[in-house]
Amino acid sequence: MKNKFVPEVTSALRQDIVKVPEVIKDASGILVFGKRIKSILFSTDIAIIYNTNADAVIAVYPFTPHPGITKSIIEAANIPVFSGVGGGLTQGQRSVYMSLFAESQGSLGVVLNGPTPLETVEAVCKVVDIPVISTVTSVYTDIDAKLSAGVKMINISAGKKTAETVRFFREKYPDLPIIATGGPTDDLIRETIAAGANAITYTPPTNGKLFSKKMQNYREVEKQQFESEH
């Protein structure tokens, strides 16, 4: 069967959006409230989040979650957002309140860090009606109790061992929705998908790196204009 032609609509001002690797389309995706999610942008940069073709955003960061950050990201995004609500430094009632706030603002799901105590997982799962996602960092992460408490998905981020970790949990839980980091190359992304990941997180270039590339282009254009005039 031939691939279907997909017409594209864009504008002159939207040429430089951050595109996720095409290979992510090979993933099965995860249906969340009827929306199929395959590619998930790992970023809290509002400008990048607003200019991407990813299916969703996972907004986790190395600080205590704050309602102002969650609100700003959700308002700026034109795609679904999975919001970080703590679990490491931030636990207990604050994680619960952050989860309720994230849901009320429109998050598609909430993400708890790997070290989250079971009591916090149980409390969050009891109060929200959106998927609770638990981060997994290695094959040694114990998720049985968290799944029993109500966790609906896992987000695997195990560095160079991500594909191996995905394979381990896929064999143990054949039907569990698995999000995983894909790595910097298409081959690594394919390996992670083949291991059993349903959706792939993609870390985009930094704002500084993107701007550096654009400034280089500006300099080349200025040079060409100067040479043509002289």
Confidence of residue 229 (pLDDT cuts 50, 70, 90): confident
In 3D space, the residue among 168, 164, 200 whose CA is nearest the CA of residue 184 turns out to be 200
pLDDT at 189 over 90: yes
Closest by alpha carbon to 125, among 103, 156, 155, 158?
103
Checking phi first, is residue 150 left (phi over 0); if not, alpha (psi -120 to 50) or beta?
Answer: left
Residue-wise pLDDT for 72-113, tens only, equals: 999 999 999 999 999 877 888 999 999 999 999 999 999 999
Contact between 86 and 94 (Cβ < 8 Å): yes
**For the chain, first and last CA: distance in Å?**
56
Going 82 to 110 to 98 to 158, the CA torsion angle's sign is negative
Give the pLDDT score at 2: 62
For residue 124, pLDDT beyond 90: yes
Closest CA to 23 of 4, 5, 11, 38: 38
- pLDDT tens string 134-158: 999 999 999 999 999 999 999 999 9
Average pLDDT, rounded, for the chain: 92
The token duo for 228 is: 């043509």
Note the pLDDT tens digit of each residue in 34-82. 999 999 999 999 999 999 999 999 999 999 999 999 999 999 999 999 9
Query: Which domains, from first to last, does the chain contain?
Result: 12-229 (3.20.20.70)
Residue 182 predicted with pLDDT over 60: yes
Q: How far apart are CA 110 and CA 65, in angstroms?
A: 11
Indicate the DSSP class of residue 159: G
